[in-house]
Amino acid sequence: MGKRIIVKIGSQVLCDPSGALNQAVLSGLVSQLGALSTDGWQVLLVTSGAVAAGTSLAGERIQGISDPVARKQVMAATGQVQLMETYRELFQQQGLPVAQVLTSKSDFQTRRHYLNMRGCIEALLTVGIVPIVNENDVVAVTELMFTDNDELAGLLAGMVNADLLCLLSTVPGVYDGDQDDPATQCIESWDDQRHQIEDIVSRGASSLGRGGMHSKLAIARKVAKLGTEVVIADGADPDIMSKILGKDAGTRFPALGDASPTQRWLASADGHATGSVTVTAGAESALTDGNRLASLLPVGIEAVDGRFDSGDVIQIFNSSGRVLGCGKARYDHREAERLMGQRGQKPLIHYDYLYLVD
């Protein structure tokens, strides 16, 4: 299998000041992605821009739509055609076929949907077709929406076990303070021991796109801990991809772990838990001990909340209400309540199906 790279291009990079697609920037980025493919990379593109493209295409017709949600859906549906046709033409010039993949958050909720989508994307990558992925704004509303396409790109990185995730925005990287301060510098390599998200935010570092810097940093750190290196960089730089590969641009988040395929799925499904359990201090200590693998046993459970069945994803809280992670339940909530606090019972969550946050 070739090296895999996911490149997310934000709408601020794709669009000119008037909101229309910036053909020059798009052409330059696609040319760079074509060069990556020639060098042996399997390329997956996550793109914004459908709503922006549809704004001008729909024209005065959208003025007759009073519902703002429906108006956005119409602009997305209209603009997606223009966006994909633009990409098709540009990638064709690079000798690369493309495929459209529209997704919503619900596609990551169930193991079956997740595996179906992964199978399709894996097949596309294997045969050299570039999957172009975007949120399906026609059906994605309210709770079904991703925070932004950075979140979608992060979930896909875990899904296909990407080697590198590039989040291209309109700034050179993550700054350690206010950009207006001459002493402020772009952080070359993120280190959790030296850098704290809240500190960076409180020092006034500028926002990075629609999701904001806080969201991008959280996603980058999470993806890196699952085993994929992440770079936040300036997509308007005409030579950005070669600079990224040469470690000469952006803020890098080194890959820190090597999660299993199941753990990567759980990491994408942690926001869709159907129930939860609260664990004792002893169970929390065992689960978070980095020197050993521990399953969640009934003896360490002090509360069961919600209704869940065998195979559902459930969240794990400590006694103070902090989320420790999530996992795949081996039995339902009724059995969990019956066995709660008992020793010598089968695990509610086996360590092979357990995902822990920080």
Q: How far is CA 263 from CA 117, 194, 316, 328, in A?
A: 17, 27, 15, 10
Residue-level pLDDT at 203: 52
Largest CA distance in the chain: 68
User: What is the pLDDT, as a whole number, of residue 209?
Assistant: 37
Please give the mean pLDDT across all residues of the chain. Answer: 86
> Which pLDDT score, from 0 to 100, does residue 240 have?
95
Burial label for 222, CB within 10 Å (0-12, 13-18, 19+), is buried
CA pair distance 289, 312, nearest whole angstrom: 25
Distances from the Cα of 235 to the Cα of 11, 231, 266, angstroms:
10, 11, 30
Which stretches in the chain have pLDDT values below 50? 204-211
Domains annotated for the chain, with CATH where assigned, are 3-263 (3.40.1160.10), 273-356 (2.30.130.10)
> Bridge-partner residues for 133, per DSSP?
46, 101
Identify the pLDDT of residue 211. 43
pLDDT, tens digit (0-9, with 9 covering 90-100), for 211-237: 476 778 888 989 999 999 999 999 989
pLDDT for 141: 61
**Chain CA centroid to CA 239, Å:** 24
Q: Which pTM value belongs to this model?
A: 0.84
Query: What confidence score (pLDDT) does residue 58 get?
Result: 66
Q: Looking at residue 1, what is its pLDDT? A: 56
Q: What is the per-residue pLDDT across 96-130, written as a single tens digit (0 to 9) for each? A: 999 999 988 878 877 888 899 999 999 999 999 99
